[in-house]
Amino acid sequence: MNVNPTIAEADRAAAAGDFARAQKLLTEAAAAPDADARLFLKLAAVSKAAGQPGAALTAVERALVQQPLDFVALVLRATLLDALGGAEAGEAWSHALAQRPAGELPAPMLATIEAGEKKRDEWLGAREARMKRAMAAAEDRASAEERERIERFRSNALRRTRPYHSEPTHFHYPGLVEREYHPRRLFSWLERLEAATAQIAAEFRSVMAAERAELVPYIQYADHRPLDAWRPLNNNRDWTAIHLWQNGRVIDANARHCPATMALLETIDQPSIGGAGPNAMFSLLAPHTAIPPHVGVNNARLVCHLPLVVPPGCWFRVGAETRHWREGEAFVFDDSIEHEALNPTDQLRVVFIFDVWHPGLSAVEREAVAALIEAEAGAASPV
């Protein structure tokens, strides 16, 4: 390997503490048309050591032209802007920290990163305050639902959250409104469902006590299928289900113990799709069990959760919003948007789950969706 003699001499000067000479030599080497990002970073480092942060900033920005996402270069740029009192320092730290690699960082860098996080947070706080002042008049007139969306808009702009989209594994119907959690006003039956929580919970206990009840792993698929994220839960009784409806079929061994729950489901607008729906079940998540991030098969349906047994600390995330389940408080969400769950406690968590039509579909669209999915029955797994 050929070593550029100018660079080698600069290295010796830097090692001897003669940063001015090292800077001069590296500046000469950097004038070559084939100068690479490593050389510019070296020049930035010796320029900084020589007490010339402006020259160091110029050099590191030349390195970033070639490698715009280099974490070390971005951190050095942010540090230099800090030293120069630049107004861009907070944003520079935000860009740098976004590229932080996984795993442990060298100990000498940790203090620098901690200081950078503080600078970034101060910058974000100032931006947020400015945004809030500008939006205050509109926000004051907004409804609760509108305020929630306005707050998320601001959070996305600050990159504290990001947009999530519907990405079903099999069936994507175009043009439907994408919401992580859908507004309660769209589902008139939610209060009636919540009022029946005690009765549904009692029927859950009844079916659990029955000798012939069917309690099966929630995830069941052939081991050869390319679904690696699910492997720890495949055929695992840490996440089980007691199905009342499964892919459009009543599971009589369970349903006969739950007459009030089945009658209530009859009043709710569930998808009736041969081989695919409706679906309704009691979902049991064992202590210290995580459900990994995933998406469902079909965005034409939504999913309702009615928590029945929820130890404190159990949570559920859809997109950028995490909620803690609360017994008797139902919600409707889009399972074609990435979601995950965790039971971090020592106790069992139980949620009653069923599917409903997406409210954005007309009657003829529902008919078309059902016809297509019925034609493809068996192609999709109800994960």
225 — pLDDT class (breaks 50, 70, 90): low
Q: Are 309 and 201 in contact (CB under 8 A)?
A: yes
Number of Cβ within a 10 Å radius of residue 280: 26
Checking if the pLDDT of 11 tops 80, the result is yes
169, 281, 340, 369, 371 from 290: Cα distances, Å: 21, 19, 8, 32, 35
* pLDDT for residue 224 is more than 60: no
- Spatial contact of 254 and 244, defined as CB atoms under 8 Å apart: yes
Tokens, residue 195: 């009022």
Q: 322-339: per-residue pLDDT in tens?
A: 999 999 999 999 999 999
Q: Are 383 and 297 in contact (CB under 8 A)?
A: yes
Q: How high is the mean pLDDT of the chain?
A: 92
Which residues on adjacent β-strands are paired with residue 4? none
Q: What is the mean pLDDT of residues 276-284?
A: 96
If you search the block for the tokens 């607008």, which residue do you land on?
269
The confidence score (pLDDT) of residue 108 equals 85
pLDDT, residue 231, reads 52
CA–CA distance, 340 with 360 (Å, rounded to integer): 24
175-223 pLDDT, tens per residue?
A: 999 999 999 999 999 999 999 999 999 999 999 998 666 777 665 545 5
pLDDT (tens digit per residue) in 301-314: 999 999 999 999 99
Q: What is the DSSP code string of 135-196?
A: HHHHHHH--HHHHHHHHHHHHHHTTSS-------SSB--TT----SEE-GGG-TTHHHHHHT
Residue 195, judged by CB atoms within 10 A of its CB (0-12, 13-18, 19+), counts as exposed
Amino acid at 305: H
CATH number belonging to the domain at 181-375, selected among 2.60.120.330, 3.90.1170.50, 3.30.70.870, 3.30.310.10: 2.60.120.330
Lowest-confidence region among 53-57, 210-214, 287-291: 210-214
The vertex-231 CA angle with 226 and 235, nearest 5°, equals 115
